[in-house]
Amino acid sequence: MEKIELYDTTLRDGMQAEGVSFSLEDKIAIAQCLDKLGIDYIEGGFAASNPKETRFFQEIAKLDLKKSKIAAFGNTRRADSSVTDDLSLNSILACKTQAATLVGKAWDMHVTDVLGCSLDDNLIICSDSVRYLKKNGLLTFFDAEHFFDGYKANPEYAMKVLAAAAEAGADALVLCETNGGCLPDEVFDISQEVCKRFSAITIGIHTHNDTDCATANSLASVRAGARHVQGTINGLGERCGNANLCILVPNLVFKMGFDVLSNDQIATLAEVSRYIFEIGNLTPVMNMPYVGESAFAHKGGLHVNALRKSKRTYEHISPELVGNERRFLISELSGRSTVLDKLEKTKIAEDKELAGKILSHVQELENQGYQFEAADASFDLLVKKIMGSYKPFFDMIKYHITVEKRASGEIVTEATVKLKVGEQIEHVVGEGDGPVNALDAALRKSLENFYPSLRELHLIDYKVRVVNAGAGTAARVRVIIESRDKHSIWGTVGVSENIIEASWQALVDSVEYKLQKDMQ
């Protein structure tokens, strides 16, 4: 198996994505995560850009990384300065990293219109800059910016730029598809020409996703001979993002047979993906290949029936290989097989008659606007009710909510809940930021003395969807609530023309599920 070098630029290119900002502590934590994953090189940031980047290199140097080498990023020297007094180059040296990445212009238009120097001067700039870093003992990668566009405009000059960096001692020539506008056949053909010309040096690939081809373009370049691949976790990056290492790695290993990461390391990919989303306060991409929550989620009844007989029928790899899991979704599209699988997971003996009853009930409820895909806890309670094993922990007598807006502009919301727990009546008031928050506070307050474990329960997400928008203000709404305790996360659902009632249904299911789970 041939080895592919992995180079991660989440901490530099990834931070250029809209809405992404990592603190110093975030960057340190991400670097440690990438090191544990087994990334060969971690680009720490643009060395000369700001004090936070400088501090990152100082702090990361104090840590004992097991696998990864940190690379500092910067430009080739300015046209009006020498290498010894150039800010970018000396900022790289000040980082005291083992590796450096230099970006140089490979498109003649950028040289003349952006740098404002001659084509020959740019060759000298690239050569001088690489040679200076090599002289100071750094492993040096040369990022040929806009290489593919430059090659299409002036192939002879684009090759001269690579030759200048290679002759100066660059350890790898990285072909950058900077504008993200190329298609895989173009990337393959051009990469192949480069690999033939520079067979004695490592060729790398760095792609952007503006045509949704970043992954395909990277794989095409590897097929042509590139053995150094750059990308970011989750494809974070400017505009439409960069090549996604969470997709590239399993493709390189499972589809193309390259040595990239160990099987144990690849099995943490889904966890790493979620971690980077979480630390960046970003919403995970559900349908991301390999690592997304929906990557191995099956909804069609015929599909589930086939999967129960052979997992290969509708899955191209086993989800466990990348740390993901298979899920069968309950909906009106479900067949008996989906329900049977759910019953097996809850350790209920296979019962086709019971499955039929449950399926019929699910289809009826979904016709009313319920949705159980994100509400496994409500489905679990539904099964218990149909089986006759459901035991309520309390009975609702009534609830009442008042919202008062005062002259000062202050809004006060109170919820009154009257419940019966066993033979005891609880009548309590709760305050909150809104009706649902107040209702949640009152419900908990009335039950915590009986069921102390509810203090562990936290609501972490609340979603409202209009089911039949054509009905206007009388439309039915669906409320999905996500809850968690110390051990797990679950979802519940409620549907009603009244948003408070829908919320009450989902809240009650959340509490009931928590108590049922604790009892079991």
Instruction: Report the C-alpha gap between 368 and 370 in whole angstroms.
Output: 6
Same domain (yes/no): 55, 148: yes
CB burial of 195-206 (b: ≥16 within 10 Å; e: otherwise) equals: beebeebbbbbb
- pLDDT score, position 473: 60
CATH number for the domain that contains residue 468: 3.30.160.340
Looking at the domain assignment, is residue 288 inside a domain? no
Looking at the domain assignment, is residue 287 inside a domain? no
Low-confidence ranges of the chain (pLDDT < 70): 300-305, 307-309, 328-351, 373, 469-474
Looking at the domain assignment, is residue 224 inside a domain? yes
Domain stops at, among 279, 314, 348:
279
Looking at the domain assignment, is residue 153 inside a domain? yes
Looking at the domain assignment, is residue 312 inside a domain? yes
How many Cβ atoms are within 10 Å of 411's Cβ, its own excluded? 11
Same domain (yes/no): 164, 266: yes
**How many domains does one find in the chain?**
4
What are the start-end ranges of the H helices in 280-389?
A: 301-309, 336-345, 352-367, 376-387
- Asked whether 214 and 243 are in contact (CB, 8 A), the reply is yes
- pLDDT score, position 356: 76
Give, as one character, the DSSP assignment of residue 113. I
- Asked whether 378 and 510 are in contact (CB, 8 A), the reply is no
How many Cβ atoms are within 10 Å of 241's Cβ, its own excluded? 23
Q: Degrees (nearest 5) of the Cα angle 223, 228, 234?
A: 95
- pLDDT score, position 300: 64
- pLDDT score, position 77: 95
Same domain (yes/no): 375, 412: no
Domain stops at, among 450, 476, 494:
450
Q: Degrees (nearest 5) of the Cα angle 367, 370, 374?
A: 135
Looking at the domain assignment, is residue 49 inside a domain? yes
Same domain (yes/no): 239, 320: no
- pLDDT score, position 397: 95
- pLDDT score, position 346: 58
The residue range of the domain holding 430 is 394-450
Looking at the domain assignment, is residue 430 inside a domain? yes
Show the tokens assigned to 346: 């809850």
- pLDDT score, position 474: 62
Looking at the domain assignment, is residue 89 inside a domain? yes
- pLDDT score, position 420: 94
- Asked whether 189 and 148 are in contact (CB, 8 A), the reply is no
What are the angstrom distances between the C-alpha of 284 and each of 258, 266, 372, 458? Answer: 28, 19, 20, 20
CATH number for the domain that contains residue 428: 3.30.160
Same domain (yes/no): 476, 435: no
- Phi-psi category of residue 45: left, alpha or beta, with phi > 0 → left and psi -120 to 50 → alpha: left
- Asked whether 66 and 37 are in contact (CB, 8 A), the reply is no
What are the angstrom distances between the C-alpha of 71 and each of 98, 140, 376? Answer: 7, 9, 45
- pLDDT score, position 303: 66
Same domain (yes/no): 430, 465: no
Same domain (yes/no): 422, 330: no
Same domain (yes/no): 127, 15: yes
Same domain (yes/no): 437, 519: no
Give, as one character, the DSSP assignment of residue 96. T
- Asked whether 26 and 280 are in contact (CB, 8 A), the reply is yes
Rg (CA), the chain: 29
Domain stops at, among 214, 246, 279:
279
Same domain (yes/no): 50, 158: yes
Same domain (yes/no): 258, 304: no
Instruction: Report the C-alpha gap between 386 and 381 in whole angstroms.
Output: 9
CATH number for the domain that contains residue 179: 3.20.20.70
* Signed CA dihedral, 61, 65, 69, 71: sign only: negative
Same domain (yes/no): 355, 423: no
Q: Of 198, 128, 146, 141, which is closest to residue 174 (Cα–Cα)?
A: 141
Instruction: Report the C-alpha gap between 12 and 232 in whole angstroms.
Output: 9
- pLDDT score, position 372: 77
- Phi-psi category of residue 96: left, alpha or beta, with phi > 0 → left and psi -120 to 50 → alpha: left
